[in-house]
Chain A
Amino acid sequence: MVNNELFERCRKNEGQAQRAMYDQFKATLMGLCRRYARNKEDAQDMLQESFIKIFSKMHQVESADKFESWMKSVAVRTAIDHYHKLKRTDHHAFTTDEYDVADLDYGGILESVSDEYLVGIINDLPEGCRMVFNLFEVEGYSHTEIAELLKVSEGTSRSQLHHAKYLLKQKLSRLGIKRYEKLA
């Protein structure tokens, strides 16, 4: 939650207040950027750009209680901008065979992996899959909205999500198999 006074001081472009605001939210926004970026360096770039936009356009936010969600949406938009700039040529070839994951202990696997590792798996997804997965599963956008944001068809958005989930399961399954092998 953003302090009202801090919010107002930031709107007045006070350097100290902006620094305090940055310190308060840098880890949250870095976490968000890490999910969308391919690596830590790209995430750092996104974060920097997001904060510049946030402090430059803060006058658009009406009140302090809306600030945090607005700030996150700015970071998501920045990630989408990066996607449009960087991606373009990344067309991943989908495999059609389904991976049998029914019998694996996903609960156990999920409990055993750290957040960093989970983010690392997300980072390894192809650009389009990663974007759609984040937008749909984490941010809660609909396929129609995603199609508009990423300038793809709804069908593409659905298939990207499906493929993203498949790849995630596959990676987690392999992790589970390795774990079993280790235990055995």
Chain B
Amino acid sequence: MKSLPEKDFWNAIRNRLENYKEEPQDDWLKIAGAIPAAGERQGNKPVNLAADLLSVASVVMLVWTLCAVTPAARIWTLANVSTPPVTEKVNGQEADRLKEDNERELKEHKVEQNEKGLPPVTKETESKGNRFGDVLKKVEHNDASQQQASLPELDNDAKTNGRDTRSAHIDGPEESQDTTDSVQTVVAAKADTVFFAVPPILQQKSKTRRKFRPSVYAVITPSFAYQKIVPRRDDNINIQKLNSAGLVSADRLGYSLEAGFQMQVSNHFELYAGFLYYQQNLLVSYSYVTDGDVETVNGTREKWSFELSPGEATRTFRYAMKNGGASAGVLYHIRGRKLMHKLGAGLQYQKGLVRSQGEYSYNNASSSYLNYQLLYRMEYSLSGRTSIFLQPQFVHSLVADEVLREPFTVKPYRAGLGFGLLYHF
């Protein structure tokens, strides 16, 4: 044969290539580890449902928080006031906060009045309009000993009346709109107790504020990662031994960053919702039985005896997780004012972010995790607006929709100590 016609030549190549077979390395172990189990394929529903609920809760929480701090919401609150003034007793931390609030509100109110073209505040209008003018004068003329002597009485009076009290006047405009725009404060002998004779507008507002007082928080939590490993039952791979780092080992170290909003909803309860990032880099090695050697010991044509000598291989799995997600939960205020103790519980939804192409690399880009979170918070107030907190916490996976190229599934959990900062609006 001199030469094949062109068409036949390519057909011959096609036939040979089409039927070409080659024995590959046996990678069944890796393949079996990466095939999702039957339940896993349809098992995303609880995770998705929980994620949806968590997302909705977070969004509601954020909207609620934003509404509570926007001027529109404040104006709405102010417009619905008709209750008479009441003097309230508050602790030092609350007092600081209220004092700052009141000062700022009065300034804002003054600006509004100017913008509306109302007459400027004068000494005359101040003296006419200020229901507490006489009291202020009295205070100015009273000496220190008189003040001390009459304190208990003033305490009682202040609680019930709010007029006949010794007052330290917080600067700000006193305008011609009766008593609704003035603030009277009595600083009592007890350093941590302040009495406010709160005018109706601000009183109502402060109530609203305290009830729905929003805060933003940020917390970094170094943690130790652990995991519950469940071997797959249907892959014929026998794991002999797991070798992971010690209980408290640098190899287990990870951290999470979280930031979000929290809001007081009752005297004892606060809600929180935020976004988080989590990272860990844990090594797990395991030994498994390989096929090994099969040796024929003795036998006849009808009956053979074999001796199996299974081998053992060790493989290392780097559980280098990077997740992003959202969390939401509730805090219960146990006790304390300056140093508050709180218990918390919540849910976290996390999505994997590691997207590696390597054959043996861990890849969790398509994985998602639903975790529950238990925490204890010690919150210390630095000023009326800022607090720092220390937060031991435990996070455990409820559902881990994770596809590993390993002959087992993993349920991660971790324990950590968070350091956080709170800013109160």
Contact = CB atoms under 8 A, between A and B. Distances in A.
B22 interface: yes
Given A27-B22, A168-B13, 13 more contacts: A28-B21, A31-B19, A35-B20, A43-B24, A48-B359, A51-B27, A51-B31, A56-B35, A59-B41, A108-B1, A116-B22, A134-B17, A165-B10
Contacts of A152: none
Interface of A: 12-16, 18-19, 22, 26-28, 30-32, 34-35, 43-45, 47-48, 51-52, 55-56, 59, 85, 102-108, 110, 115-116, 118-119, 122, 134, 137-138, 165, 168
B36 A31 contact: no
Interface of B: 1-4, 9-10, 12-14, 16-25, 27-28, 30-32, 34-38, 41, 232-236, 357, 359
B20 A119 contact: yes
Q: Is the interface of B mostly helix, strand, loop or mixed?
A: loop
Query: Which of B4, B14, B35, B235 has most A Cβ within 10 Å?
Result: B35
Given A52-B34, A55-B31, A107-B3, A44 B25 contact: yes
A117 B10 CA distance: 16
A107 B1 CA distance: 7
A15 B1 contact: no
Contacts of A108: 1
A115 B23 CA distance: 13
A138 to B, nearest CB: 5
A138 B17 contact: yes
A115 B20 contact: yes
Given A44-B25, A44-B27, A35 B17 contact: yes
Query: Which of B1, B13, B14 has most A Cβ within 10 Å?
Result: B13
B236 A27 contact: no
Contact of A107 (B4, B30, B36, B234): B4
Contacts of A32: 20
Nearest to A32: B20
A85 B27 contact: no
B13 A30 contact: no
Contacts of A165: 10
13 contacts: A13-B35, A14-B234, A15-B32, A15-B235, A18-B32, A19-B32, A22-B31, A28-B21, A44-B27, A55-B35, A56-B35, A116-B22, A138-B14
Nearest to B34: A52
A59 B12 CA distance: 36
B28 A19 contact: yes
Contacts of B34: 52
Contact of B3 (A31, A56, A103, A116): A103
B191 to A, nearest CB: 68
A34 B14 contact: no
A85 B357 contact: yes
Nearest to A165: B10
Query: Which of A18, A30, A52, A134 has most B Cβ within 10 Å?
Result: A52
B29 to A, nearest CB: 10
B23 A26 contact: yes
Contacts of A45: 359
Contacts of B20: 31-32, 34-35, 115, 118-119
A118 B31 contact: no
Given A115-B20, A137-B13, A13 B4 contact: no
Contacts of A15: 32, 232-236
A138 B20 CA distance: 11
A118 B3 contact: no
B13 A105 contact: no
Contacts of B16: 110, 115, 118
A48 B2 contact: no
B14 A137 contact: yes
Contacts of B233: 15
Query: Which of B4, B16, B31 has most A Cβ within 10 Å?
Result: B31
Contacts of B13: 110, 118, 137, 168
Shortest Cβ-Cβ A-B pairs, 7 listed: A15-B234, A30-B24, A13-B38, A107-B1, A31-B20, A27-B21, A31-B21
Contacts of B23: 26-27, 30
A11 B22 CA distance: 26
A45 B21 CA distance: 16
B309 to A, nearest CB: 21
A28 B25 CA distance: 13
A103 B38 CA distance: 60
A102 B6 CA distance: 9
A122 B9 contact: no
B3 to A, nearest CB: 5
Nearest to B233: A15
B289 to A, nearest CB: 15
A142 B234 CA distance: 42
Nearest to B18: A138
A146 B269 CA distance: 62
